[in-house]
C-alpha cells in the first residue's frame, strides 16, 4: 500500500501509557464497564444502552490534559494509522460534499492496555472499537500483531481495512443509521436484534471498500496484493470462523458481525463499485 507520502490526520490522540482515570461503577468497578464494552463488541449491542442498566458512581471521573498527537517519524505504525485516517477524511469529505452535506471526521485514539471512552472503559482484548457517544475510534496497535499472527491476515492494507471499517461506523452514526438500528433492536427479539447488527456491520465493511476504491482512484494507494490482503482480513474475522476457533461449533442465529463469506462479499462490493449507494445491506433480501 502506498501511504508514506500521504497526509497525516490532525485528529489522532496518543494516550498510550496514560492512566485510566474513571473510578468505575457501584458494585462492579471498572470490570463492569469493561464487560459492557466486551458485550457491545462481541454481541453487537450499543454500549450506551447497556450502561443505562448499570448504576453509576456519583463521584467525578476526573480530568486530564488533552492527549498529544503522535510525533511524526517517531513511530512508523502510528504514522501509518494517521495517514490512513487522513485519507478516510479526504475521501468521505468528498463523498458527503457530492450530496450537499458536511463530513465531520472522527478522532482516533491510540491506547495501550485500557482506555476511557464515553462508552466506558475498553481493554485491548476487545480489539478496535468505535464509540458513537464521543465519535472516536479506539485502537491498541498491538491488535495488528494479533491480526497477523492469530488471524493470519498480514499486510498494511489489512491494517487499513480495520480502521476504514470503524470509520464506516462513524459514517453510519453521522447519517443516523446507527441510532435507527439501535431503536429497532430495542423493540426486537434477540435473534432479530442480532440480524440487524449483522446488517450494520456488513454495511461498515462495504463503506470500508468504498473508501479504498475512491482513495485509489484519487491517489493511487493500492499496490499488487493489497486487495487480497483486505479480503483475507475480512474473511478472518467472520463470526463463523471465530466461533469455530473458539468453540468448535457455529451458531448462525448468534452472529452479530456476519459470516466470512458475507464480510468478504460486502467489502468487495464497496471495492468494486466505489459507491456508498451500493451498500444498502438493510434493503438486501440476502446478505
Per-residue pLDDT at 65: 56
- Three-state secondary structure readout of 158-227: HHHHHHHHHHHHHHHHHHCHHHHHHHHHHCCCHHHHHHHHHHHHHHHHHHHHHHHHHHHHHHCCCCCCHH
Whether 135 and 173 have beta carbons less than 8 Å apart is answered as: yes
147 within 8 A of 140, measured Cβ to Cβ: no
Residue spans per domain, the chain? 12-278
pTM: 0.85
State residue 67's pLDDT score. 73
pLDDT in tens, the chain (287 residues): 999 888 999 999 999 988 886 543 323 333 333 434 444 444 344 444 444 333 334 333 334 456 777 767 678 999 999 999 999 999 999 999 999 999 999 999 999 999 999 999 998 988 999 999 999 999 999 999 999 999 999 999 999 999 999 999 999 999 999 999 999 999 999 999 999 999 999 999 999 999 999 999 999 999 999 999 999 999 999 999 999 988 999 999 999 999 999 999 999 999 999 999 999 999 999 99
First-to-final CA distance of the chain: 29
Amino acid at each position: 500500500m502506498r501511504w508514506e507520502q500521504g497526509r497525516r490526520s490532525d485528529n489522532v490522540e496518543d494516550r498510550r501509557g496514560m492512566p485510566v482515570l474513571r473510578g468505575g461503577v457501584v458494585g462492579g468497578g471498572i470490570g463492569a464497564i469493561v464487560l459492557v464494552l466486551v458485550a457491545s463488541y462481541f454481541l453487537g449491542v450499543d454500549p450506551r444502552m447497556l450502561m443505562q442498566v448499570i448504576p453509576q458512581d456519583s463521584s467525578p471521573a476526573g480530568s486530564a490534559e488533552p492527549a498529544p498527537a503522535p510525533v511524526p517519524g517517531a513511530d512508523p505504525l502510528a504514522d501509518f494509522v494517521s495517514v490512513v485516517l487522513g485519507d478516510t477524511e479526504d475521501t468521505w469529505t468528498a463523498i458527503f460534499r457530492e450530496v450537499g452535506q458536511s463530513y465531520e471526521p472522527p478522532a482516533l485514539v491510540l491506547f495501550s492496555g485500557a482506555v476511557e471512552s464515553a462508552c466506558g472503559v475498553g481493554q485491548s482484548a476487545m480489539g478496535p472499537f468505535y464509540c458513537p457517544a464521543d465519535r472516536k475510534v479506539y485502537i491498541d496497535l498491538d491488535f495488528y500483531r494479533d491480526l497477523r499472527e492469530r488471524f493470519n491476515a498480514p499486510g498494511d492494507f489489512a491494517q487499513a481495512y480495520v480502521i476504514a471499517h470503524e470509520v464506516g461506523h462513524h459514517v453510519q452514526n453521522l447519517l443516523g443509521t446507527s441510532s435507527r438500528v439501535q431503536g429497532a433492536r430495542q423493540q426486537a427479539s434477540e435473534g432479530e436484534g442480532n440480524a440487524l447488527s449483522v446488517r450494520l456491520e456488513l454495511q461498515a465493511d462495504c463503506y470500508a471498500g468504498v473508501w479504498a476504491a475512491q482513495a485509489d482512484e484519487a491517489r493511487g494507494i493500492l499496490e499488487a496484493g493489497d486487495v487480497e490482503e483486505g479480503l483475507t482480513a475480512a474473511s478472518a474475522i467472520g463470526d463463523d470462523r471465530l466461533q469455530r476457533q473458539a468453540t468448535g461449533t457455529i451458531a448462525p442465529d448468534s452472529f452479530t458481525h456476519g459470516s466470512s463469506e458475507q464480510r468478504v462479499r460486502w467489502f468487495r462490493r464497496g471495492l468494486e463499485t466505489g459507491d456508498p449507494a451500493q451498500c444498502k445491506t438493510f434493503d438486501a433480501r440476502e446478505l
